[in-house]
Amino acid sequence: MNGQEWPVAARRLLAVRAARSVGQGALVVGFTLYLHALGWSAGAIGAVLSAALLLGVLLTVAIGPLSDRVGRRRFLLGYELLVVLSALLALASARPWALVVGALLGGFGRGANGAAGPFGPLEQAWIAHDLAPMQRARVFSLNATLGFGGMALGALLAALPAALHGILPGALAYRPLFVLPLLGSLIGFVLLWRTPEAARSTAQPAAVEPGAAAPRSRAAENRLLGALALANSLNGLGIGLVAPLMAYWFALRFGHGPAAIGPALAAGFVLAATGAQLAQRIAARFGVVRTVLLMRGIGLALLLLTPLLPWFALAAGVWALRAAFNQGTIGVRQSLAMGLTGPQRRGLAATVNNVSMMVPRAIGPALAGMLLARGWLVLPFVAAALCQCGYLLAYRAFFGGLSDAGA
């Protein structure tokens, strides 16, 4: 199968993700460093990121299942407008309320790999709508790859404040970074506006898709979604304890600024993009579950090693390599989640997949911020590793018996 055989909507949505991811990559590096330069404490930075994630949970819960009935396009268009508004506010003012609005509505600093924040499940369901089961791992892996590639470019551009210090003093040098999410969301809005959404067909029984196993009962689907939520909750807490504050952690641990941290995180996104392509190839041969267990197991070891290394270059290199094995599995994991239900409930499946990670992930930055404020720079990694280990054990127990066609 080549890209020309994919539905038009899927190709456009992949392009939207690529455009959106550049600004996200810049702010996953620059936003927490900007707040730090403005004098915000570690606890305050962690709290605002947690609040943003919790608001995202509420929006996802409210809108995800609703999108199965009324469509996804209008919500995604609204999201792009919210990001545009948030970026304009951040460009105009450094007042705390303006930056809190940016974090809450624009998702600044959360690093969603190009996804539409709390509306990410809608994108996943829309992309999966016309895809055969055997196509999903490849398409979702490419979707993840494009997001990581854009994030890498954005993270490199996050080094811009270092070059502007002679022109814009102090924290003001970070302000131009908000142009990137502004432009990305304007491009995304235009692409989405030109993309028709397929009509919903919930009134008719779903046909068995080519390559799919026999449809599951509603009760069986619910059991699988519950298992997914339990496993993902461990994964989400582990992610939230380290990833959102990683740029800030590098600044505290090694005293480096965006000129060094931006390229370091960019390398991680490049390797994550490579890992996404590697994951879909391994999954085609050995299955999704085995692929996740192998790659995430290696990533777990690298996670534990990162805070123990004494030099920035070495720690940053190990963290970047970890991204290839951890984040590289995002696409294949999404493909499995999209196959746990029939087509009429994919919005629900995507919502469960995201919300079950977002709730504990929202708690993580607040906890990590308190630990970092006390100088405990290693403990967040140890706690995250324990969560990740529990996730892998649960993933194997719950999904080890699923076939890729059925899932």
Distances in Å between the Cα of 386 and the Cα atoms of 32, 186, 235, 294 are: 25, 40, 10, 17
Percentage, residues of the chain above pLDDT 70: 90
Going by pLDDT thresholds of 50, 70 and 90, the confidence category of residue 213 is low
Which amino acid, one-letter code, is at 60?
T
CB distance 277 to 145 below 8 Å: yes
All domains of the chain in start order, with CATH: 3-196+212-399 (1.20.1250.20)
Position of tokens 């959106």?
Answer: 20
What's 146's DSSP letter?
H
Give CA–CA dist 87/30, Å, rounded.
13
pLDDT tens for residues 300-344?
A: 999 999 999 999 999 999 999 999 999 888 888 887 887 787 777
Comparing CA positions, the residue from 320, 326, 318 lying closest to residue 302 is 318
Q: Report CA torsion sign: 387, 392, 396, 399.
A: positive
CB distance 151 to 269 below 8 Å: yes
Distances in Å between the Cα of 247 and the Cα atoms of 45, 48, 383 are: 12, 16, 18
Position of tokens 């819960």?
Answer: 61
Q: What pLDDT is recorded for position 193? A: 93
Helix axes 120-128, 8-37, angle to 10 degrees: 160
Give CA–CA dist 276/274, Å, rounded.
5
Q: What pLDDT is recorded for position 161? A: 84
Give CA–CA dist 392/303, Å, rounded.
14
Q: Report CA torsion sign: 346, 351, 354, 357.
A: negative
What mean pLDDT, rounded, does the chain reach? Answer: 85
Instruction: Read off the tokens for 52.
Output: 């943003």
**Is residue 71 helix, strand or coil?**
coil
Going by pLDDT thresholds of 50, 70 and 90, the confidence category of residue 21 is very high
Going by pLDDT thresholds of 50, 70 and 90, the confidence category of residue 272 is confident
CA 179 to chain centre: 21
Global confidence as pTM: 0.76
Give CA–CA dist 63/211, Å, rounded.
30
Q: How many CB atoms lie within 10 A of CB 200?
A: 16
Give CA–CA dist 377/371, Å, rounded.
7
- State mean pLDDT over 280-290: 87
Q: What pLDDT is recorded for position 183? A: 96
225: phi > 0 → left, psi -120 to 50 → alpha, else beta; which? alpha
- Residue 265 CB-half CA count within 13 A: 35
Comparing CA positions, the residue from 256, 259, 276 lying closest to residue 268 is 276
| DSSP H or E stretch at residue 330 | helix 330-338
Alpha helices in 38-72 (DSSP H): 42-70
Residue 263 confidence (pLDDT) above 70:
yes
Residue 383 confidence (pLDDT) above 70:
yes
